[in-house]
Structure 1
Amino acid sequence: MNIPNEGSMNVPFFRPSISETAIAEVTECLRSGWLTTGPRVKQFEFEFAKFIGAKHAVAVNSCTAALHLAVEAMQLKAGQGVLVPTMTFAATAEIVLYQGGIPILVDCDPATLNMDFEDAANKLEAARSGTLQGSPIEVVGIIPVHVGGLMLDVDHIDAFAKKHTLWVVEDAAHALPSAYRSGADQAWRMCGENTAAVTCYSFYANKTMTTGEGGMAVTSDPHLADRMRQMSLHGLSHDAWKRFQGNSQWDYQIVAPGYKYNLTDLAAAIGLHQLQRVEAMRQERENIAEFFFQRFRNVAELELPPQLENRLHSWHLFPIRLCLDRLSIDRNEFIQCLRERGVGCSVHWRPLHLHPYYQETLQWQASDCPTATHVWNRLVSLPIFPGMTEPEQEHVVRVVTELCAKYSLRQPAAQTNPSGT
């Protein structure tokens, strides 16, 4: 393969893939005169629910908004606790705080980085008994996250929730389209296909499909759907956009103090066409992941992400783990070297219990989630996105492999050939 000069190669962490048909749809939306929540949002909701296999979908302006609406609809009250993984983005726990609730941070499974249910059971018991924070906490819910797009065992989540009388709101920001099945002879269940009371997705710019900014909440409960839809538009008595249609009633009533979380038709115009390509884009990412697995399999300084049977992985992320005991540099230095050589990357994530707010205000300590505390210093998320060219993939592999060889603590004779031959 003809590889461009390394000096001219700069691989971003992510590059959105927007089709010409989506651009044309946005143009048509602009010409229509209807820019905010309108007919395209309604069509997007219908098509998305159909794709997932859910009965109802509520389009909003972020996954954070979807999660907030979900826990509000589940009637989360001040002082109540919710189990939240520490390995997640800020939003998963923040929306509990929005309601005055208490996020109870749960450690991660060392293999998948998803929620550790043994630790969840221990934290739940400690919270309810009063040994976690000095007084008993009424724990009412759990918000699992499918890290990187690798789904948890949703049957296990359901059994855990029923055993402990918890509602389940699913943070599926990474998990579109991901799927799970209990065995090889079972049908696939897409994330959101009755896998939780409410499942919430992100359409942020770097997600598996995008509307620029945006999100969606899906549910099979019409009452939850109605509540989320109402609260997404200031708690109005009916859809605001209908007020401006010729045959609709102009009046409205405020029935609850809601929020301004609605999605625009401009965003939905992009989303409609992204949704049509979402599985094809997943397959592109899967192919890139397989290329990385093949080329990195003999690099002893790296630990690759798990591949589980009975999972359809979205491959939103490709997180490697550095074997720091075999390297003379740390994770931050490794990232700096990647960036200097034109490889965009990120870290998912600094665990919540290691952020100043959770340590200073909520009294969480590094020892409370020891697995996450240990593993996050090894994590690096490599670029993986549809449209990533073969030269870009080759460049990522070459740079990562050469850095591992350069800073390896092994003898030179045992070095991996960076050419992959």
Structure 2
Amino acid sequence: MKSKTYSYGKQNIDRDDIESVVEVLKSDWLTQGPTINEFEKALADKFGSRYAAACANGTAGLHLIALGLGWSKGDLIVTTPITFLASANCAIYAGANVDFADIDERSYTIDPEKLEDKIKYYRAKNIHVKAVVAVDYAGHPCDWEALKNLKEKYGFQLINDFCHAPGAEYKNDYHYAVNYADAVNMSFHPVKHFTTGEGGAVLSNDREFIDRVKILRTHGATKDPRILEKNDGPWYYEMHEVGFNYRITDFQCALGISQLKKLDSFINERRKIAAYYDEFFKNDDRFITPIVNENSKHAYHLYPLQIKFEELGISKKEFFDKMKEKNIFLQVHYIPVHLQPFYKKRFGFKEGDFPEAELFYKREVSIPIYPGLNEEDLEYITGSIVGALDSMK
């Protein structure tokens, strides 16, 4: 058995990254220092936003977006069922209600036609959709033109949960995320395209919104003279609303700055791995490989391979066990959020509500895709997948 182990994702840290962090560790600032501002500027420059606010993680970023956009009790937020819990939970944090629109079977992102059907359903009940959280799942951009048209038609806020997609392009636009959405959320968890360890950021072209996000990430406290009701001296601060401790450290941002410089090379490696998988699996009708729309360039945070377990009469769990024996640790992205016990109990969702998402969940397997995998690794991974299925006939 091959001694090397594989997971669906993995960080790539080199000497430059380590030296960048050590330099900050030797400085006077570990947190709330100048490197945070440097990282925010680098993010804004890279992704084309006027402003950026770095924070503790991607979940914190979504919560800050919810608060910054004024979500509150009784508001209705719609997102996709195929996403991490945080894309829906952020609405719950703000006291809002949650519903979903099913996915498009090609891109696995929220389907604009099904979203409009959902909006019309609620309008017939005199309920206004406050916001839509659209997720660029696996690194494939949503149909942002259609989503923006719906936003203008029905007047909701539009959020890009962009955690999977740094480096993607939509209609030849690298900066599409901030050009279509009111707010953009990012995550820098180790399995993402570049990492700060834990960390996240909110991007926007709206200064007033970002200023509010920055106050809310620091307990709601501010020293901004434009906001203060009085000023007793340089130590003085005020809290006008409750915030949270969602700050990020300088040494994390040092790692982020170093990693961000390598994003393009990381994306190129991921695309080469995806091309290898596409070619390997394309003529085997047991598999469905990801489709990339003509107007998009995929960033491949994930390679979501669908295996027709139900047609093959094979147990997905047993397949995972077989792969584990080969030191290949797969993952599934995601269990549809509406099938989580909390959402079933709170909102009455049930199996069958979003059939495309549910079928996708039954078939989807996230196989290893990250910089550093060589051709020998890919041969081993693909050979193990086919071998496991063959052995289970």
* TM-score (ref. length: structure 1): 0.88
Describe the superposition over 1:73-131 as per-residue Cα deviations: whole angstroms up to 9, x where unpaired: 1111210101111111000010101111011111111222111222212222223333x
Which residue of 1 is the match for residue 134 of structure 2?
144
Which residue of 2 is the match for residue 417 of structure 1?
none
Describe the superposition over 1:131-181 as per-residue Cα deviations: whole angstroms up to 9, x where unpaired: xxxxx5331111100110000121111101111111111101101111100
Give the letter aligned to residue 53 of structure 2. Answer: V
> Hey, what's the Cα distance between the residues in 1 that align with 2:284 and 2:12?
31
List gaps (5 residues or longer) in structure 1: 1-5, 131-135, 182-186, 240-247, 409-421
> Hey, what's the Cα distance between the residues in 2 that align with 1:392 and 1:254?
54
Measure how far apart 1:326 and its partner are: 4.2
Give the letter aligned to residue 96 of structure 1. Answer: A
List gaps (5 residues or longer) in structure 2: 225-232
> Hey, what's the Cα distance between the residues in 1 that align with 2:73 and 2:208?
22
Describe the superposition over 1:8-65 as per-residue Cα deviations: whole angstroms up to 9, x where unpaired: 2422332210121110111111111311121101000001100111100000011111
Map residues 377-388 of structure 1 onto 2, 5 A cutoff: 377-388=362-373
Answer with 7-16 or 165-174: which moved more: 7-16
The 3-state SS of whatever aligns with 2:178 is coil
Contact 1:201/1:216 (<8 A) preserved: yes
Which residue of 2 is the match for residue 59 of structure 1?
54
Measure how far apart 1:363 and its partner are: 0.7
Give the letter aligned to residue 324 of structure 2. Answer: R
The answer to whether structure 1 residue 90 and structure 2 residue 80 are counterparts is no
- From 117, 126, 135, the counterpart of 2:112: 117
Give the letter aligned to residue 258 of structure 1. Answer: G
Give the letter aligned to residue 378 of structure 1. Answer: R
- From 3, 8, 17, the counterpart of 1:8: 3
The 3-state SS of whatever aligns with 1:143 is strand
Give the letter aligned to residue 63 of structure 2. Answer: H
The answer to whether structure 1 residue 50 and structure 2 residue 45 are counterparts is yes
The 3-state SS of whatever aligns with 2:177 is coil
Contact 2:8/2:302 (<8 A) preserved: no
Which residue of 2 is the match for residue 77 of structure 1?
72
Q: Provide runs of 4+ in structure 1 moved above 4 Å.
A: none
Which residue of 1 is the match for residue 297 of structure 2?
312
Measure how far apart 1:317 and its partner are: 0.2
Which residue of 1 is the match for residue 340 of structure 2?
355
Q: Percent identity?
A: 29
| Cα distance change of structure 1 residues 191 and 403 upon mapping to structure 2, 3 Å threshold | farther
Which residue of 1 is the match for residue 274 of structure 2?
289
Answer with 359-368 or 87-96: which moved more: 359-368
Which residue of 1 is the match for residue 153 of structure 2?
163
The 3-state SS of whatever aligns with 1:27 is helix
Give the letter aligned to residue 189 of structure 2. Answer: Y
Measure how far apart 1:407 and its partner are: 3.4
Give the letter aligned to residue 284 of structure 1. Answer: E
Contact 1:202/1:216 (<8 A) preserved: yes
Contact 1:299/1:404 (<8 A) preserved: no
The 3-state SS of whatever aligns with 2:6 is coil
Contact 1:108/1:115 (<8 A) preserved: yes
Contact 2:11/2:191 (<8 A) preserved: yes
| Cα distance change of structure 1 residues 188 and 231 upon mapping to structure 2, 3 Å threshold | same
The answer to whether structure 1 residue 393 and structure 2 residue 378 are counterparts is yes
Describe the superposition over 1:296-350 as per-residue Cα deviations: whole angstroms up to 9, x where unpaired: 2222211111122121211000011112354231222212211111112100000
* TM-score (ref. length: structure 2): 0.94
Which residue of 1 is the match for residue 181 of structure 2?
196
The 3-state SS of whatever aligns with 2:67 is helix
